[in-house]
């Protein structure tokens, strides 16, 4: 009888450990955000005009942070690690035909997810509205390859 109880206990323990490691892997991997690519700024604007806007309360104002040219060989934090409240979207123009990542962290520096750009020059649009509202998020541009990544400019929208 004791052997049966021991076998059941170890089975449950093994299931619990397996479940916890799966959950840890999901947390580690985070959300993979969709990226849309556009060759020109005009194509990006046409897409945004055709897309339904998110309804926001009349007292809320859409805020925009514009950044100019930047380059990085490893990573660079957007606005020196500023946490954007209710992060909405990002439009970024790259000069290099290399892939880069936009990594998202919560205000406590916990990894949330990433958006991976295609290895092309031009504009990308990433929608972050799947993130829970009422929270702040930090963005980091990360170069998974070698050499230096050059971005021309970009806009981060938040509320």
Q: Where are the domains of the chain?
A: 1-30, 34-158
- State pLDDT tens for residues 1-20: 544 444 444 444 343 333 33
- pLDDT of residue 27 exceeding 70, the answer is no
* pLDDT value, residue 14: 42
Provide the pLDDT confidence category of residue 147 given band limits of 50, 70 and 90.
Answer: very high
Instruction: Output 52 or 74, whichever has higher pLDDT.
Output: 74
Query: Which residues, other chains included, contact 144 with Cβ-Cβ below 8 Å and sequence gap of 6+?
Result: 99, 100, 101
- pLDDT of residue 122 exceeding 60, the answer is yes
How far, in whole angstroms, is CA 122 from its chain's centroid? 19
pTM of the full predicted structure? 0.76
- State pLDDT tens for residues 80-110: 999 999 999 999 999 999 999 999 999 999 9
Q: Which CATH number fits domain 34-158: 3.40.30, 2.40.160, 3.40.50, 2.60.120?
A: 2.60.120
Closest CA to 158 of 109, 116, 107: 107
């Amino acid at each position: 009888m004791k052997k049966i109880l021991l076998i059941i206990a170890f089975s449950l323990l093994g299931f619990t450990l397996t479940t916890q490691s799966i959950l840890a892997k999901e947390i580690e991997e985070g959300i993979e955000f969709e990226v849309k690519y556009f060759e020109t700024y005009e194509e990006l604007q046409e897409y945004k005009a055709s897309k339904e806007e998110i309804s926001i309360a009349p007292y809320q104002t859409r805020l925009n942070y514009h950044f100019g040219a930047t380059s990085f060989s490893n990573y660079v934090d957007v606005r020196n690690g500023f946490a954007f409240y209710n992060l909405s979207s990002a439009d970024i123009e790259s000069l290099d035909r290399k892939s880069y990542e936009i990594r998202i962290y919560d205000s406590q520096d916990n990894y949330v997810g990433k958006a991976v750009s295609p290895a092309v020059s031009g504009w990308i649009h990433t929608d972050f509205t799947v993130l829970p509202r009422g929270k702040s998020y930090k963005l980091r541009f990360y170069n998974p390859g070698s050499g230096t990544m050059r971005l021309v400019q970009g806009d981060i929208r938040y509320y």
